[in-house]
Each structure stands twice: as C-alpha cells, then as structure tokens.
C-alpha cells in the first residue's frame, strides 16, 4: 500500500519501529503520521493503564491551549461526559472513524497520552467522483447549489497536523495521531487489525445511509480490528421508532434500535448507554427541532466479547 508520511516528534520513532511501514512513491497518502510530543514510547505494543477519573478528564478538557472552536463545540458535545463514557485508557490504541475536523481524535490523543496511538480515518477525495450529498444539510440550512461550494483548500491530514503541532507547541503530552484515508466500508488501517482498544464513531453512522456505505462490512472490519474486550462507541441523532435509517439524508437521524441491531449483528454486545445528550422534548420529526432546542442524541457502547 503506497504511503506518504508527515513526521514530527515521536512519529519518527514510530516509523523507525516499523509501525507504519514505508513507501517510495510520492502519491496521495492513505496514511499520514502526525505527533504532538517528542516521546518515542508510542508503539504497537503498549502498556494500558487504568482509565482516567472524571476529574482528570475535566482537567484535560479545561486545558487553556484548546482551540476556541473546540470550546464552542464542547457546549454541544459534552466532552467530559463523552470521554468518561468512552473510558479510553492511557497507553491505548484508538481509531476515530470518519474523523472530520479531528475534534474527537484530539480528545482521545490527550486522554490516551504519549504511550498510545490514535488513528483518525477519513474518506479520500476523488475529484472525478464527487461524494454523495444529502437531500438536506444537517441542521436544516438551505442546500447551496454545487457551483456555490468552494473547492476545499486543506485536507483532513492538514487539519490533524495543525492540531498536533498546536499541542506540541503547548507542551501537551498527547498520543500521536495517524491519519488513514480509506473507504468507510473498511475504515481500519491494516496495521491496526487486532490491536485496537477503542473505536469511536461520532454522529456519522446515520450518514452511511445516503452515502451507500456497506454498514455490515464496516462493523465487521471494526469487530475484527478490536482486541477482545475492546469497545466501539457510537453517538448519533435519534430518529423515531420505525424509521430505521430512512431519514439519514433528510432529518439526519437514525432509529436507535435499528443501529443497535446492525452493530450487534457483527458480533458486538451493547454494554452501556449514555444519557448525557438526550433531550426527551425533541419530537424527532425535523432536522432542526422546532421550537429550537438540542437534538435528542444517544451514545452507545458496545464490546467485543
């Protein structure tokens, strides 16, 4: 598999250890390694400690170096509740599926620390095959015409590299973040198969409907990549009973029981449900609730037996 690396800090040590392999052709990379620390302790065989306490996670979230954009996102995401629920341990190896802007990947990197590793998966761009677009954008805004959409100037790898550089400049003891560009049908880096402790998928599972993702393949790949006892945490916008994933591109919602059934069909077992993003007053019949209020959202934790 052709690979190109952006290396800083401990990423050079990781490369020397052979964690990610090497390549000779300068092509668009499915993998890009970034790092926030100068430690060389992150390898594929790590010692996983006890989970951090809620107070320890609150201190991490309150770090003054975190960006203003992430702090704004905190108001919606409840990161102390989320990271406490996920339970990622220092020294763990994690994967954030469809990482987007890297908000969750950075939180995982801070919680896991320099003894672990965070993979951040995103879909590679194909200018000859534009991605599927939902019938309505999330949040209920008007859909702009395709011609009005500017070509993205920066890649996910760029954004993650910026996050890692900012943490390094602030002296944050964070895990390296490794970007992996791949299809959502199989979002797991080959090097991570059988080595993952935690997988997160934040508010994107419903999108798999209008994107035409083979969700059974996705869940099987994640199941195979996790160690026994590893956890798969999914957060999403709650749909009404009986709607399944049919409103993925319109209301950007998914029925909770439908999602659970699909994930458990891959061999997972649900072990916990977080209620910190629930809103029982949301009628769940519109993209953006009316009257304006937070969307009803669920967070589920599955385990590989």
Q: How many independent structural domains does the chain possess? A: 1
Closest alpha carbon to 260 in 230, 214, 298: 298
Q: Given pLDDT bands bounded at 50, 70 and 90, which one contains residue 20?
A: very low
73-123 tens-digit pLDDT: 999 999 999 999 999 999 999 999 999 999 999 999 999 999 999 999 999
Helix (H) or strand (E) holding 168: helix 156-169
> How far is residue 165's CA from residue 7's CA, in Å, rounded to a whole number?
11
244-289 tens-digit pLDDT: 999 999 999 999 999 999 999 999 999 999 999 999 999 999 999 9
Average pLDDT over all residues of the chain: 84
Which residues have C-beta within 8 Å of that of residue 162, sequence separation ≥ 6?
none
Query: Is 31 a domain residue?
Result: no
pLDDT at 7 > cutoff 50: no
Mean pLDDT in residue range 2-10: 34
Query: Is 90 a domain residue?
Result: yes
**Can you give the CATH number for the domain in which 132 is found?**
3.40.50.150
Range of the domain at 195: 39-140+153-303
Query: Is 278 a domain residue?
Result: yes
Virtual torsion, Cα 96, 210, 79, 141, nearest 10 deg: 140
Query: Is 8 a domain residue?
Result: no
pLDDT of residue 49: 80
Mean pLDDT in residue range 49-55: 93
91-105 tens-digit pLDDT: 999 999 999 999 999
Q: How many CA atoms lie within 13 A of 48 on its CB side?
A: 17
For the chain, percent of residues with pLDDT exceeding 90: 73
Q: Given pLDDT bands bounded at 50, 70 and 90, which one contains residue 160?
A: very high
Q: What is the pTM of this model?
A: 0.82
pLDDT of residue 154: 84
Query: Is 183 a domain residue?
Result: yes
């Amino acid at each position: 598999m052709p690979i190109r690396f952006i290396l800083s800090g401990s990423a050079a040590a990781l490369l020397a250890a052979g964690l990610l392999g090497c390549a000779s052709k300068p092509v668009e990379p499915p993998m890009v390694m970034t790092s926030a620390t100068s430690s060389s302790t992150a390898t594929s065989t790590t010692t996983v400690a006890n989970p951090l306490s809620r107070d320890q996670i609150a201190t991490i979230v309150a770090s003054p170096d975190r960006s203003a954009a992430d702090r704004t996102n905190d108001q919606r995401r409840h990161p102390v509740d989320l990271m406490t629920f996920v339970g990622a341990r220092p020294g763990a190896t994690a994967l954030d599926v469809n990482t987007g802007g890297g908000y969750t990947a950075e939180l995982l990197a801070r919680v896991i620390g320099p003894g672990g590793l965070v993979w951040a998966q995103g879909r590679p761009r194909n200018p000859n095959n534009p991605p599927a677009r939902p019938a309505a954008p999330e949040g209920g805004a008007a859909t702009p015409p395709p011609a009005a959409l500017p070509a993205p100037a920066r890649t996910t790898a760029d954004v993650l590299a910026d996050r890692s550089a900012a943490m390094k400049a602030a002296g944050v003891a964070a895990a390296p973040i490794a970007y992996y560009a791949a299809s959502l049908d199989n979002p797991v880096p080959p090097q991570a198969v059988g080595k993952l402790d935690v997988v997160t998928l934040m508010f994107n599972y419903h999108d798999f409907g209008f994107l035409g993702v083979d969700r059974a393949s996705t869940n099987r790949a994640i199941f195979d990549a996790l160690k026994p006892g590893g956890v798969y945490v999914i957060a999403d916008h709650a749909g009404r009973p009986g709607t399944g994933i049919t409103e993925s591109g319109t209301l950007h919602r998914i029925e909770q029981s439908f999602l659970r059934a699909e994930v458990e069909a891959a061999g997972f077992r649900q072990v916990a449900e977080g209620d910190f993003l629930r809103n029982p007053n949301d009628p769940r019949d519109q993209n953006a609730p009316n009257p304006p209020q937070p969307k009803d959202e669920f967070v589920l934790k599955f385990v590989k037996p």
